[in-house]
Amino acid sequence: MIEISSNPKANMISALTLKQGNYSVPIWELEFHLWDAFSNKKFWIGNEFIKLSKKEKETALHTNAEIIAEVSDLLHFAAVSLPADYWELVPGHPSYYWLPDDYILKQAKTIFELCDDKLLLVAQSSGVLSLPSASEYMDFSVQMFQDPDIIDKKAKSQFDNSIIQINTFLDIGINTFYTASDIADNSGPYFPPEQFERYILPYLNQWSEYINNNFGLSILHSDGDIKPYMAQIAETGINAIQAIDPVAGMDIVEIKEKYGSEICLCGNIDCGLIYTGPQEAIYEKTKNLIEKIGRTGGFVLGASNAVERSTPQSHYLAIINAWKETEEPLLSVFR
């Protein structure tokens, strides 16, 4: 048994490393977009950030770090994903939570200096291939079978670039990483077994091994129904898997029973439910989830994917209120 800790970061590390004990269930979101909603300050990110002057950008980095510290304390977060690089939801429409390349590390340093004592900071390092985007889908799918060497080169290049990125974060003291690598959709894995074992599994093993050899922690994010590959994923060196996609029929209780002794599970409150509500349903789902699998270690509470900006603040608070009620016996220890 481990000792109960009042430090959220310590609780997160305990969960990711499958420690047993009465530590509080940690909360971590793959991406959290409601910083503004829970703060009286402006959170500068994405297109709004790049319009600022150089001096304003430097100020914004410090403001962002202050907001993350304050809101994380308010919502009892144990970990926070750092802003990553630019990518598009659909062509011409960028995601929300990104910064220009030359400011990603600057922002990470600022947040680290302010928050490292209480928050585990998680950096993105996509070291493993993912299901291709809509614009690349046909070409990629054909190449997997007709020109597999091309996919081999893409997989190796992505892995090599991720190692360079990992090292830059390690240099400033950040050692926890996730790879956003969707390998499935709602109908099942995109990569057939032979391709999974050629293009995905070796790099997932190497990616996690490199991080773990540098005393870090590694997390795989994948949407979709990945049940056919759960056993192989659990046998790799990754510490955790995030999503456990409920829309794709992933039952986190069932997955916990089968693989909970091998890998930490992060998620899996349906983002659609969080968005549409009602609050009562969100509250009950959260409470039941913690009660069913939150006392055996190896579980991190959160949404199944990013908590979008349009999510009602009251809906997200339903998660936090349910967490507070179920964790109250542990929280009272520190009063």
DSSP string computed for 215-238: T-EEEEE--S--GGGHHHHHTSS-
Q: Which amino acid is at 233?
A: I
CB 53 within 8 A of CB 21: no
Phi first, then psi: what are they for 243, rounded to 5°?
Answer: 125, -70
Question: pTM score, two decimals?
Answer: 0.95
For residues 28 and 78, what is the distance between their CA atoms, to the nearest angstrom? 6
Contact 123, 175 (CB under 8 A): no
C-alpha 122/C-alpha 175 separation (Å) is 8
Give Cα 230 distance to the centre of its chain.
18
pLDDT at 161: 97
HSE of 214 in the Cβ direction (CA atoms, 13 Å)?
A: 20
Q: For residues 286 and 323, is the Cβ–Cβ distance under 8 A?
A: yes
Q: How many angstroms separate the Cα of 135 from the Cα of each of 89, 132, 139, 141, 171? A: 12, 8, 9, 11, 36
What is the rounded radius of gyration, in angstroms, for the C-alpha atoms of the chain?
Answer: 19
Residue-level pLDDT at 4: 44
CA distance 47 to 83: 13
List the structure tokens of 24.
């509080």
Cα(131)–Cα(222) distance, integer angstroms: 9
Name the token pair of 192: 């057939």
Tokens of 48: 């709004």
Report DSSP state, residue 21. Answer: B
Q: Do 245 and 217 form a contact (C-beta atoms < 8 A)?
A: no
In contact, 248 and 224? CB cutoff 8 Å = yes
Averaged pLDDT, groups of 10, the chain, 335 residues long? 64 94 89 96 96 98 98 97 88 88 97 96 96 90 96 98 98 97 96 97 98 97 98 97 97 96 96 96 97 92 96 97 84 48
Determine the Cα–Cα distance for residues 128 and 155; give it in Å rounded to an integer. Answer: 7
pLDDT at 86: 86
Q: Judging by DSSP bridges, how do beta strands 264-269 and 299-303 pair with one another?
A: parallel
Q: Which of 6, 26, 2 is nearest to 219 (CA)?
A: 26
Contacts of 145 (CB under 8 A, 6+ apart): none
At residue 2, the pLDDT reads 33
pLDDT of residue 331: 54
Model confidence pLDDT, tens digit, residues 96-137: 999 999 999 999 999 999 999 999 999 999 999 999 988 899
DSSP state of 197: I
Q: DSSP alpha helices (H): ranges in 85-147?
A: 101-115, 137-146
For the chain, give the number of residues. 335
CATH fold of the domain at 8-334: TIM Barrel (3.20.20)
Q: Torsion-angle region of residue 276: left (phi > 0), alpha (psi -120 to 50) or beta?
A: alpha
* Sequence spans of domains, the chain: 8-334
Going 72 to 75 to 80 to 86, the CA torsion angle's sign is negative
What confidence tens digit (pLDDT) does each residue in 67-80 have? Answer: 999 999 999 999 99
Give CA–CA dist 82/105, Å, rounded: 9
